[in-house]
Structure 1
Amino acid sequence: MEEKKLNEKESLELITQMIRQSRKNIGTGSGNRFLLYGYLAVVLAVVVFALVRTTGSSMWASAWFLMFAPFIYTTVYDRKHRPTVITYTDRMIDETWKVIGTLFVITVLTMMILGYALGSVNFGLMMPLALIYCGIGTSITGLVIKDSVLAYLPLFGLVFAIYMLMTLPALQHVPATWHLYFGISFLIMMVIPGHNLNAKYHK
Protein backbone atom coordinates (compact mmCIF):
# COMPACT_ATOMS: atom_id res chain seq x y z
CA MET A 1 0.00 0.00 0.00
CA GLU A 2 1.53 3.28 -1.16
CA GLU A 3 1.88 5.98 1.48
CA LYS A 4 0.25 9.30 0.67
CA LYS A 5 2.55 12.29 1.00
CA LEU A 6 0.97 15.40 2.47
CA ASN A 7 1.71 18.84 1.14
CA GLU A 8 2.29 21.82 3.43
CA LYS A 9 -1.37 22.86 3.51
CA GLU A 10 -2.60 19.35 4.27
CA SER A 11 0.02 18.95 7.01
CA LEU A 12 -1.08 22.17 8.69
CA GLU A 13 -4.72 21.13 8.46
CA LEU A 14 -3.90 17.76 10.03
CA ILE A 15 -1.99 19.39 12.90
CA THR A 16 -4.81 21.88 13.45
CA GLN A 17 -7.36 19.06 13.50
CA MET A 18 -5.31 17.12 16.06
CA ILE A 19 -5.04 20.18 18.34
CA ARG A 20 -8.77 20.82 17.93
CA GLN A 21 -9.57 17.23 18.86
CA SER A 22 -7.26 17.41 21.89
CA ARG A 23 -8.90 20.65 22.98
CA LYS A 24 -12.26 18.93 22.72
CA ASN A 25 -11.05 15.98 24.80
CA ILE A 26 -9.56 18.31 27.39
CA GLY A 27 -12.62 20.52 27.41
CA THR A 28 -14.88 17.59 28.19
CA GLY A 29 -12.60 16.17 30.88
CA SER A 30 -9.45 17.93 31.89
CA GLY A 31 -11.01 21.38 32.21
CA ASN A 32 -13.18 19.95 34.95
CA ARG A 33 -10.18 18.04 36.22
CA PHE A 34 -8.25 21.24 36.84
CA LEU A 35 -11.28 22.52 38.74
CA LEU A 36 -11.47 19.31 40.77
CA TYR A 37 -7.88 19.56 41.97
CA GLY A 38 -8.00 23.34 42.24
CA TYR A 39 -11.14 23.63 44.35
CA LEU A 40 -10.13 20.72 46.58
CA ALA A 41 -6.82 22.49 47.27
CA VAL A 42 -8.59 25.77 48.05
CA VAL A 43 -11.03 24.10 50.46
CA LEU A 44 -8.28 22.09 52.15
CA ALA A 45 -6.15 25.23 52.44
CA VAL A 46 -8.84 27.05 54.39
CA VAL A 47 -9.71 24.04 56.58
CA VAL A 48 -6.10 23.12 57.38
CA PHE A 49 -5.17 26.74 58.06
CA ALA A 50 -8.10 27.12 60.47
CA LEU A 51 -7.31 23.86 62.29
CA VAL A 52 -3.58 24.54 62.59
CA ARG A 53 -4.16 28.12 63.72
CA THR A 54 -6.79 27.23 66.34
CA THR A 55 -5.17 24.07 67.73
CA GLY A 56 -1.52 24.95 67.28
CA SER A 57 -0.86 21.44 66.00
CA SER A 58 0.81 20.96 62.62
CA MET A 59 -0.48 17.38 62.49
CA TRP A 60 -3.56 18.70 60.70
CA ALA A 61 -1.31 19.35 57.70
CA SER A 62 -1.50 15.60 56.99
CA ALA A 63 -4.97 16.33 55.55
CA TRP A 64 -3.14 17.42 52.39
CA PHE A 65 -2.73 13.74 51.55
CA LEU A 66 -6.41 13.91 50.56
CA MET A 67 -5.14 15.51 47.35
CA PHE A 68 -4.34 11.96 46.20
CA ALA A 69 -8.07 11.11 46.30
CA PRO A 70 -8.87 12.86 42.96
CA PHE A 71 -5.95 11.00 41.37
CA ILE A 72 -7.52 7.66 42.30
CA TYR A 73 -10.94 8.85 41.11
CA THR A 74 -9.69 10.20 37.76
CA THR A 75 -7.65 7.04 37.12
CA VAL A 76 -10.77 4.88 37.49
CA TYR A 77 -12.84 7.38 35.47
CA ASP A 78 -10.34 7.42 32.59
CA ARG A 79 -10.47 3.65 32.25
CA LYS A 80 -14.25 3.76 31.83
CA HIS A 81 -14.55 6.93 29.74
CA ARG A 82 -11.70 6.99 27.27
CA PRO A 83 -12.17 9.33 24.25
CA THR A 84 -13.12 7.62 20.99
CA VAL A 85 -10.24 9.39 19.26
CA ILE A 86 -6.87 9.57 21.03
CA THR A 87 -4.37 11.77 19.22
CA TYR A 88 -0.63 12.02 19.67
CA THR A 89 -1.27 15.28 21.51
CA ASP A 90 -3.61 13.52 23.96
CA ARG A 91 -0.99 10.87 24.58
CA MET A 92 1.67 13.53 25.13
CA ILE A 93 -0.49 15.28 27.74
CA ASP A 94 -1.29 11.97 29.47
CA GLU A 95 2.40 11.04 29.62
CA THR A 96 3.26 14.48 31.01
CA TRP A 97 0.87 14.04 33.91
CA LYS A 98 2.08 10.48 34.48
CA VAL A 99 5.57 11.91 34.96
CA ILE A 100 4.18 14.55 37.35
CA GLY A 101 2.31 11.87 39.31
CA THR A 102 5.46 9.74 39.48
CA LEU A 103 7.38 12.74 40.82
CA PHE A 104 4.85 13.07 43.62
CA VAL A 105 5.14 9.41 44.57
CA ILE A 106 8.95 9.44 44.44
CA THR A 107 9.11 12.65 46.49
CA VAL A 108 6.81 11.35 49.24
CA LEU A 109 8.58 7.98 49.43
CA THR A 110 12.03 9.60 49.49
CA MET A 111 10.97 11.96 52.28
CA MET A 112 9.55 9.08 54.31
CA ILE A 113 12.65 6.90 53.85
CA LEU A 114 15.10 9.71 54.63
CA GLY A 115 12.92 10.85 57.51
CA TYR A 116 13.00 7.36 59.00
CA ALA A 117 16.78 7.18 58.55
CA LEU A 118 17.37 10.63 60.05
CA GLY A 119 14.85 10.23 62.85
CA SER A 120 12.53 13.04 61.74
CA VAL A 121 10.74 14.15 58.61
CA ASN A 122 9.58 17.61 57.61
CA PHE A 123 6.92 17.52 54.91
CA GLY A 124 7.03 21.31 54.69
CA LEU A 125 9.24 20.99 51.62
CA MET A 126 6.43 19.08 49.92
CA MET A 127 4.33 22.23 49.59
CA PRO A 128 6.64 24.25 47.29
CA LEU A 129 7.59 21.10 45.37
CA ALA A 130 3.91 20.27 44.80
CA LEU A 131 3.31 23.78 43.47
CA ILE A 132 6.27 23.46 41.10
CA TYR A 133 5.21 20.02 39.84
CA CYS A 134 1.58 21.03 39.25
CA GLY A 135 2.51 24.40 37.80
CA ILE A 136 4.86 22.86 35.25
CA GLY A 137 2.36 20.14 34.32
CA THR A 138 -0.43 22.67 33.81
CA SER A 139 1.77 25.01 31.77
CA ILE A 140 2.94 22.18 29.51
CA THR A 141 -0.69 21.18 28.93
CA GLY A 142 -1.50 24.77 27.98
CA LEU A 143 1.43 24.97 25.58
CA VAL A 144 0.45 21.70 23.90
CA ILE A 145 -3.15 22.77 23.25
CA LYS A 146 -2.10 26.39 22.53
CA ASP A 147 -4.09 27.95 25.39
CA SER A 148 -2.16 30.96 26.70
CA VAL A 149 -4.12 31.26 29.98
CA LEU A 150 -3.50 27.61 30.83
CA ALA A 151 0.13 27.91 29.77
CA TYR A 152 1.28 31.09 31.50
CA LEU A 153 -1.06 31.86 34.41
CA PRO A 154 0.27 28.91 36.46
CA LEU A 155 3.72 30.50 36.37
CA PHE A 156 2.45 33.33 38.56
CA GLY A 157 1.27 30.74 41.06
CA LEU A 158 4.88 29.61 41.43
CA VAL A 159 5.75 32.90 43.15
CA PHE A 160 4.60 31.38 46.44
CA ALA A 161 6.70 28.27 45.77
CA ILE A 162 9.80 30.42 45.33
CA TYR A 163 8.96 32.32 48.51
CA MET A 164 8.58 29.06 50.44
CA LEU A 165 11.87 27.65 49.20
CA MET A 166 13.73 30.84 50.09
CA THR A 167 12.31 31.13 53.62
CA LEU A 168 12.14 27.44 54.59
CA PRO A 169 15.80 27.10 55.74
CA ALA A 170 15.28 29.84 58.32
CA LEU A 171 12.09 28.34 59.74
CA GLN A 172 11.76 25.75 62.50
CA HIS A 173 8.22 24.88 61.48
CA VAL A 174 5.88 25.66 58.59
CA PRO A 175 3.74 28.75 59.30
CA ALA A 176 -0.02 28.27 59.16
CA THR A 177 -0.23 30.96 56.47
CA TRP A 178 1.61 28.67 54.06
CA HIS A 179 -1.54 26.62 53.72
CA LEU A 180 -3.42 29.69 52.52
CA TYR A 181 -0.60 30.53 50.11
CA PHE A 182 -0.87 27.00 48.77
CA GLY A 183 -4.60 27.39 48.22
CA ILE A 184 -4.15 30.77 46.51
CA SER A 185 -1.54 29.24 44.21
CA PHE A 186 -3.93 26.49 43.13
CA LEU A 187 -6.63 29.10 42.59
CA ILE A 188 -4.28 30.84 40.15
CA MET A 189 -2.81 27.69 38.60
CA MET A 190 -5.89 25.52 38.14
CA VAL A 191 -9.23 27.07 39.10
CA ILE A 192 -9.04 30.18 36.90
CA PRO A 193 -7.50 28.35 33.89
CA GLY A 194 -10.01 25.51 34.35
CA HIS A 195 -12.99 27.86 34.19
CA ASN A 196 -11.45 29.65 31.21
CA LEU A 197 -10.92 26.34 29.40
CA ASN A 198 -14.50 25.24 30.01
CA ALA A 199 -15.83 28.63 28.86
CA LYS A 200 -13.90 28.32 25.59
CA TYR A 201 -15.18 24.76 25.10
CA HIS A 202 -18.81 25.78 25.60
CA LYS A 203 -18.41 28.58 23.05
Structure 2
Amino acid sequence: HKFNTFLKIHAPCFRLDPLLLSVAVYLLVHLTGKPMWSALWFFMFVPAIWIRVSKNKSKVCVVTYMDKAIDSIWCILGQAFFLTVIGIVIFGYFNGSCNFTLMLPLSLLYAGLGIAITGIITDFKLMVYTPLIAFSVAIYMLVSMTTNTVVADWWNLLFGVSFLMMMVIPGHLLNHKIKEPC
Protein backbone atom coordinates (compact mmCIF):
# COMPACT_ATOMS: atom_id res chain seq x y z
CA HIS A 1 0.00 0.00 0.00
CA LYS A 2 1.43 3.37 -1.02
CA PHE A 3 0.81 5.05 2.35
CA ASN A 4 2.82 2.54 4.43
CA THR A 5 6.21 4.18 4.15
CA PHE A 6 4.73 7.68 4.31
CA LEU A 7 2.96 6.97 7.59
CA LYS A 8 5.92 5.27 9.24
CA ILE A 9 7.93 8.45 8.76
CA HIS A 10 5.31 11.21 8.94
CA ALA A 11 2.43 9.98 11.11
CA PRO A 12 3.66 11.82 14.25
CA CYS A 13 2.98 15.12 12.45
CA PHE A 14 -0.77 14.55 12.76
CA ARG A 15 -1.08 15.41 16.42
CA LEU A 16 -3.39 17.45 18.60
CA ASP A 17 -0.85 19.58 20.49
CA PRO A 18 -1.27 22.70 18.28
CA LEU A 19 -5.01 22.64 18.96
CA LEU A 20 -4.42 22.33 22.72
CA LEU A 21 -1.72 24.98 22.50
CA SER A 22 -4.12 27.34 20.71
CA VAL A 23 -6.58 27.04 23.60
CA ALA A 24 -3.83 27.61 26.18
CA VAL A 25 -2.43 30.66 24.36
CA TYR A 26 -5.92 32.10 23.88
CA LEU A 27 -6.79 31.68 27.56
CA LEU A 28 -3.50 33.13 28.80
CA VAL A 29 -3.62 36.12 26.45
CA HIS A 30 -7.33 36.70 27.05
CA LEU A 31 -7.25 36.37 30.83
CA THR A 32 -4.02 38.30 31.43
CA GLY A 33 -4.30 40.80 28.58
CA LYS A 34 -0.61 40.23 27.84
CA PRO A 35 0.25 39.20 24.27
CA MET A 36 3.66 37.93 25.43
CA TRP A 37 1.95 34.56 26.07
CA SER A 38 1.85 34.12 22.29
CA ALA A 39 5.51 33.11 22.56
CA LEU A 40 4.20 29.73 23.77
CA TRP A 41 3.53 28.94 20.10
CA PHE A 42 7.21 28.04 19.81
CA PHE A 43 6.45 24.92 21.88
CA MET A 44 4.58 23.61 18.84
CA PHE A 45 7.92 22.74 17.28
CA VAL A 46 9.34 20.81 20.25
CA PRO A 47 7.66 17.45 19.42
CA ALA A 48 8.67 17.72 15.74
CA ILE A 49 12.28 18.50 16.65
CA TRP A 50 12.32 15.71 19.23
CA ILE A 51 10.95 13.20 16.71
CA ARG A 52 13.45 14.33 14.06
CA VAL A 53 16.43 14.14 16.44
CA SER A 54 15.47 10.86 18.10
CA LYS A 55 14.45 9.07 14.88
CA ASN A 56 16.74 6.12 14.23
CA LYS A 57 17.44 6.41 10.51
CA SER A 58 19.08 2.98 10.34
CA LYS A 59 15.66 1.31 10.80
CA VAL A 60 14.44 2.54 7.40
CA CYS A 61 15.60 -0.07 4.90
CA VAL A 62 14.19 1.53 1.76
CA VAL A 63 13.71 5.20 1.01
CA THR A 64 11.32 5.67 -1.87
CA TYR A 65 11.06 8.63 -4.19
CA MET A 66 7.82 9.55 -2.39
CA ASP A 67 9.63 9.55 0.98
CA LYS A 68 12.41 11.72 -0.37
CA ALA A 69 10.01 14.17 -2.06
CA ILE A 70 7.86 14.59 1.04
CA ASP A 71 10.89 14.98 3.31
CA SER A 72 12.32 17.60 0.94
CA ILE A 73 9.07 19.56 0.85
CA TRP A 74 8.79 19.66 4.63
CA CYS A 75 12.47 20.53 4.96
CA ILE A 76 11.98 23.56 2.70
CA LEU A 77 8.86 24.61 4.58
CA GLY A 78 10.69 24.17 7.89
CA GLN A 79 13.38 26.50 6.58
CA ALA A 80 10.66 29.00 5.59
CA PHE A 81 9.29 28.89 9.15
CA PHE A 82 12.77 29.39 10.58
CA LEU A 83 13.69 32.22 8.20
CA THR A 84 10.40 33.98 8.91
CA VAL A 85 11.07 33.90 12.65
CA ILE A 86 14.62 35.17 12.09
CA GLY A 87 13.32 37.90 9.76
CA ILE A 88 10.71 39.04 12.28
CA VAL A 89 13.36 39.18 15.02
CA ILE A 90 15.85 41.12 12.87
CA PHE A 91 13.31 43.61 11.51
CA GLY A 92 11.77 43.89 14.97
CA TYR A 93 15.17 44.74 16.44
CA PHE A 94 15.67 47.56 13.94
CA ASN A 95 12.09 48.82 14.34
CA GLY A 96 12.21 48.62 18.12
CA SER A 97 9.25 46.23 18.32
CA CYS A 98 9.14 42.52 17.63
CA ASN A 99 5.61 41.41 16.68
CA PHE A 100 5.03 37.74 15.89
CA THR A 101 1.36 38.20 14.97
CA LEU A 102 2.27 37.63 11.33
CA MET A 103 3.32 34.07 12.20
CA LEU A 104 -0.28 32.88 12.61
CA PRO A 105 -1.37 33.44 8.99
CA LEU A 106 2.04 32.57 7.55
CA SER A 107 2.12 29.31 9.51
CA LEU A 108 -1.27 28.37 8.10
CA LEU A 109 -0.04 29.15 4.59
CA TYR A 110 3.24 27.23 4.99
CA ALA A 111 1.64 24.19 6.63
CA GLY A 112 -1.26 24.30 4.17
CA LEU A 113 1.11 24.19 1.21
CA GLY A 114 2.98 21.27 2.75
CA ILE A 115 -0.20 19.31 3.45
CA ALA A 116 -1.65 20.00 0.00
CA ILE A 117 1.56 18.97 -1.79
CA THR A 118 1.83 15.89 0.42
CA GLY A 119 -1.78 15.04 -0.47
CA ILE A 120 -0.97 15.35 -4.17
CA ILE A 121 2.10 13.13 -3.87
CA THR A 122 0.30 10.49 -1.81
CA ASP A 123 -2.90 10.79 -3.87
CA PHE A 124 -4.98 11.39 -0.73
CA LYS A 125 -7.54 13.96 -1.91
CA LEU A 126 -8.68 15.04 1.56
CA MET A 127 -5.18 16.37 2.24
CA VAL A 128 -5.31 18.32 -1.01
CA TYR A 129 -8.54 20.15 -0.19
CA THR A 130 -8.65 20.65 3.61
CA PRO A 131 -5.82 23.22 3.48
CA LEU A 132 -8.27 25.49 1.63
CA ILE A 133 -9.87 26.15 5.03
CA ALA A 134 -6.53 27.25 6.44
CA PHE A 135 -5.79 29.33 3.34
CA SER A 136 -9.12 31.15 3.76
CA VAL A 137 -8.42 31.85 7.43
CA ALA A 138 -4.88 33.03 6.60
CA ILE A 139 -6.21 35.41 3.93
CA TYR A 140 -8.79 36.74 6.39
CA MET A 141 -6.02 37.36 8.95
CA LEU A 142 -3.69 39.02 6.43
CA VAL A 143 -6.44 41.27 5.04
CA SER A 144 -7.47 42.21 8.57
CA MET A 145 -3.87 43.10 9.41
CA THR A 146 -3.43 45.26 6.31
CA THR A 147 -6.71 47.13 6.91
CA ASN A 148 -5.67 47.97 10.49
CA THR A 149 -8.36 45.76 11.98
CA VAL A 150 -7.53 44.83 15.55
CA VAL A 151 -5.77 41.49 15.85
CA ALA A 152 -7.96 39.65 18.32
CA ASP A 153 -6.79 37.09 20.86
CA TRP A 154 -9.45 34.67 19.52
CA TRP A 155 -7.29 34.33 16.39
CA ASN A 156 -5.35 31.76 18.42
CA LEU A 157 -8.49 29.62 18.57
CA LEU A 158 -9.14 30.21 14.87
CA PHE A 159 -5.62 29.00 14.15
CA GLY A 160 -6.19 25.88 16.27
CA VAL A 161 -9.46 25.01 14.52
CA SER A 162 -7.84 25.60 11.11
CA PHE A 163 -4.97 23.33 12.09
CA LEU A 164 -7.45 20.68 13.26
CA MET A 165 -9.31 20.79 9.95
CA MET A 166 -6.17 20.91 7.82
CA MET A 167 -3.86 18.42 9.55
CA VAL A 168 -5.35 16.48 12.42
CA ILE A 169 -8.59 15.20 10.86
CA PRO A 170 -6.99 14.22 7.51
CA GLY A 171 -4.07 12.67 9.38
CA HIS A 172 -6.32 10.47 11.48
CA LEU A 173 -8.36 9.45 8.43
CA LEU A 174 -5.12 8.63 6.63
CA ASN A 175 -3.97 6.54 9.60
CA HIS A 176 -7.31 4.71 9.50
CA LYS A 177 -6.98 4.16 5.76
CA ILE A 178 -3.54 2.59 6.15
CA LYS A 179 -5.05 -0.11 8.39
CA GLU A 180 -7.49 -1.16 5.66
CA PRO A 181 -6.44 -4.15 3.57
CA CYS A 182 -5.38 -3.35 0.00
TM-score range, shorter chain: over 0.9
Q: How many residues align?
A: 180
Contact 2:108–2:138 at 8 Å: present in 1 too? yes
Partner of 1:183: 160
1:61 maps to 2:41: no
**Structure 1 residues 180, 81: CA separation in 2 closer, same or farther (over 3 Å shift)?**
farther
RMSD: 1.6
**Larger Rg over CA atoms:** 1
Cα drift, residue 104 of structure 1: 0.5
Partner of 1:96: 73
1:157 maps to 2:134: yes
| CA displacement, residues 27-84 of structure 1 (integer Å, 9 cap, x when unaligned) | 234233222xxx1110011111111111111111100010120221121233446522
Where structure 2 has 5 or more consecutive residues not aligned to the other structure, the ranges are none
1:24 maps to 2:1: no
- Match runs of 1:1-203 below 5 Å: 20-21=1-2, 23-35=3-15, 39-80=16-57, 82-171=59-148, 174-203=151-180
| CA displacement, residues 15-37 of structure 1 (integer Å, 9 cap, x when unaligned) | xxxxx44x1012234233222xx
Instruction: Give the alignment's TM-score, normalised by structure 1.
Output: 0.83
**CA distance, structure 2, for counterparts of residue 199 and residue 81 of structure 1:** 26
**CA distance, structure 1, for counterparts of residue 73 and residue 7 of structure 2:** 17
**CA distance, structure 1, for counterparts of residue 108 and residue 5 of structure 2:** 25
| CA displacement, residues 83-103 of structure 1 (integer Å, 9 cap, x when unaligned) | 221111110000000000000
**Structure 1 residues 176, 153: CA separation in 2 closer, same or farther (over 3 Å shift)?**
same
**CA distance, structure 2, for counterparts of residue 98 and residue 31 of structure 1:** 16
**Structure 1 residues 134, 184: CA separation in 2 closer, same or farther (over 3 Å shift)?**
same
Instruction: Give the alignment's TM-score, normalised by structure 2.
Output: 0.93
Q: Percent identity?
A: 41
Contact 1:140–1:151 at 8 Å: present in 2 too? yes
**CA distance, structure 2, for counterparts of residue 147 and residue 81 of structure 1:** 28
